[in-house]
Chains A and B, each alone.
Chain A
Amino acid sequence: MAMSSARKGWAAVGLAASVSLVLAACGGDDGDDDTAGGGDTGGGDADCAFAEDYGDLEGTQVSVYSTIVAPEDAPLEASFDTFEECTGMTVVYEGSDEFEAQLPVRIQGGSPPDLAIIPQPGLLATLVRDYDAVIPVPDDARANVEASFDAAWIDYGTVDGTYYGTPFGANVKSFVWYSPSAFEEAGYEIPETWDDLIALSDQIVADGGMPWCAGFGSGDATGWPGTDWVEEVMLRTAGIDVYRQWYEHEIPFNDPQVVEAFDTVGEILKNDQYVNGGLGDVSSIATTRFEDGGLPILQGQCWMHRQASFYQANWGDGVEVAEDGDVYAFYLPGIDPAQGNPVLGGGEFTAAFTERPEVQAFQTYLSSDHWHAERASKGNFVSANKTVPVDAYDSPVNQLSAEIIQDPEAAFGFDASDLMPAEVGTVAFWTGMVNWITGASTQETVDAIENAWP
């Protein structure tokens, strides 16, 4: 402890010396709003042209804190390398399983990280409102986001009218995992509509199978996969506008439209005929770890598993994830034609807690097309950045995700539980889903969640 704070002290002295220099550089930087376009044309790997826009950062240091731990942190840190080499800045990266609990502690303790990668806009809002700790996004970074992202991504990072978080990664949740070979063998078609999906489920039951498997278990976050199910259906039955009213609490949580969404999910998840292939009865959904929720597909004990793009990491070694491989995913079809084919997804946001110029420069870089392309090239990542070509992503599922995110026709709904206040989004909604799947009625569940809204 003493060592590190002493080191910090010396770093501060060093920083102070370079601050004035960098400030001057930043001042001259204000004019060029089309930084983003300029950086992108550089293209080449060792080309440092893009870095000139960020001024002199030699010898500076920026700490980054996030939920991303080994092994996923390796490609992330690799994506910082080019910037570090070109500018001479050092990124001190730290990932933690306890990020959500530790970040507020560090803020209150007076030693926040320079930048944090926050997976829930709801947490970002809390940090802004309760702790007044977040520094607004610099103008250059905002310009980057406006140029290359859907306008909605500005909204997700905005709290009470001020813009605080720039988009980092993204993921698509509206996937149903299945086994292409098993489907082909049984003669099943990939359903294009919700009715087809239910018809297929009935067909599987008639053929003696269990169509669906699911798992809500996730340690002390148990229940979140259930919230995704409800959000998917809310988007499809009530539409994106009502969906927004729902997470902003303009309609109560026990609104009839929410009840309808729960009951539609219940037609699948609370149906003894449909679940829980290879894992037990309906209540076993609550105790099955979400990582294990789709695995019975590999044994032929289950046919379909709705889970986000990141589930591809869970299939294990030797399982080929591709359209003609062992497992692949199809888009969870729409329900109400009037609502089209919406997409549920999530993402992370970069927020700054200190105002030093190098921190602002790095936040701006992380919002640039250059970084998003760089990160995509390291694999295991999807970005909502529209300038990154789909074939830059490494796996078929990531390419499919990017295609879906970049589709201008698709209404993209951000994970509602991540946008709700923590009391609901990380406690009551999760517990509600667990209680609901183990026997509580829909009305009881939505009433309880509504009561927990702060």
Chain B
Amino acid sequence: MDNYEKLGQMLLAIALFVALMGVILLVTGRARRRADLWQSLAFVAPALLLLIVGLVYPAIRTGYQSFFDRTSENFVGLDNYDFVFTNEAMITVLRNTAIWVFLTPLLSTFIGLVYAVLVDRSRVEAAAKAVIFLPMAISLVGASIIWKFVYEYRPDQQGIEQIGLLNQVLVWLGAEPRQFLIGEPWNTLFLIVIMVWVQAGFAMTVLAAAIKAIPADITEAAQLDGLTGVRMFRYITVPSIRPALVVVLTTIAIGTLKVFDIVRTMTGGQFGTSVISYEFYTQGFRTLNTGIASSLAVVLFVLVVPIVVYNVRQMRKAEYR
């Protein structure tokens, strides 16, 4: 029975699609006068349809479900949001997310920018850029596994050798090996290092290209005026590449809000390292609590929106200039 129903639904969907396309083609064929409008609509419609089905509808549904209980049956008002913002474990999650979003873009962009300036027009530029860009080619799970080995801990005992890079360095320096992934809140910083390691390459590439695009007459004029070194960087380079900087910062910030792979691979959200996007998964797929999972997704969405808006506005400004 169920299978018939699904078969029917599939046929219905195909029929609907064919009918819709037929209507569009018919209308575009007839309405010559507004050909422009209809034609562009015909091109946009499929994409729009997919967006509505695949993005807008689920988003609205998620928002709706966030006001309902775990099975989306009973209306619970703001209870889910109350839980997200008052439960102790959830506050740790929100705090970690804040640390991630604040530190990762700043550190990655800073490192990428300084690196781009330092290697710009140097003899080893290509090789140096390749080195920092390589981590970009690794998936976040792969990067996490690499760093898991870097942080790996073995006790300081007779007959036991360190297999973690960092702890081996500590032992060489005469210090005790330590458990990098346990102590709160430092462990979150050790996880952020991974994201920075991956994203700095992206920042460097975009910013290096922007630096190359600064018109030579500007830098020459500045040099004639006596600007060198750090002041050159501060007053000429940075203002000139401001649009690129904003794009890099916001892109990394959005990516960071969605960080899931690193947390799951490194700690499984234990030791107080969970973030919203991981907690969303835990609530949605482990405790099967659709209500709280949806409200976490909404919180995540609300946090991303201002960054996207800012990004778009800056881009527009740059275009008008």
Spell out A's residues near B (CB within 8 Å).
Answer: 5, 8-9, 11-12, 100-101, 104-105, 110-111, 126, 130-131, 218-223, 276, 278-281, 283-284, 286-287, 299, 301, 354, 421-423, 426-427, 430-431, 434-435, 438, 448, 452, 454
Chain A interface main SS type: helix
Closest Cβ–Cβ distance, residue A451 to chain B (whole Å): 8
Residue of B nearest to A8 (CB): B3
Q: Report A-chain residues with C-beta under 8 Å of the C-beta of B282.
A: 220, 427
In angstroms, Cα B87 to Cα A423, docked, is 14
Closest Cβ–Cβ distance, residue B93 to chain A (whole Å): 12
Interface string of B58-90 (1 = CB under 8 A from A): 000000000000110000000000000000110
- How many A-B residue contacts, CB cutoff 8 Å? 92
In angstroms, Cα B267 to Cα A221, docked, is 10
Residue of A nearest to B183 (CB): A438
Can you give 10 A-B contacts (C-beta < 8 A)?
A9-B6, A110-B2, A218-B268, A220-B264, A223-B270, A284-B155, A287-B179, A287-B182, A435-B271, A448-B88
Q: Is B157 an interface residue (CB 8 A)?
A: yes
Residue of A nearest to B285 (CB): A101
Residue of B nearest to A423 (CB): B287
Q: Report B-chain residues with C-beta under 8 Å of the C-beta of A427.
A: 282, 286-287
- A283-B179, A301-B159 given. 14 additional CB < 8 A pairs? A9-B4, A104-B288, A126-B288, A218-B268, A219-B268, A220-B264, A220-B269, A279-B154, A280-B154, A286-B182, A301-B160, A427-B286, A430-B270, A448-B88
Closest Cβ–Cβ distance, residue B197 to chain A (whole Å): 21
Chain B interface main SS type: loop
Q: Is the CB of B182 within 8 A of A100?
A: no
Residue of A nearest to B154 (CB): A280
Partner of A104, one of B89, B267, B285: B285
In angstroms, Cα B268 to Cα A219, docked, is 6
In angstroms, Cα B154 to Cα A301, docked, is 13
Interface size on B, residues (CB 8 A): 31
Tell me which residues from 257 to 284 in chain B have a Cβ below 8 Å from any Cβ of chain A.
264, 267-271, 282
Partner of B271, one of A218, A219, A284, A434: A434
Q: A220-B269, A426-B287 are in contact. Are A5 and B179 (CB under 8 A)?
A: no
Q: Is B7 an interface residue (CB 8 A)?
A: yes
Residue of B nearest to A425 (CB): B287
Q: Is the CB of B155 within 8 A of A280?
A: yes
In angstroms, Cα B160 to Cα A276, docked, is 13
Q: Is B289 an interface residue (CB 8 A)?
A: yes
In angstroms, Cα B287 to Cα A111, docked, is 21
Closest Cβ–Cβ distance, residue A182 to chain B (whole Å): 16
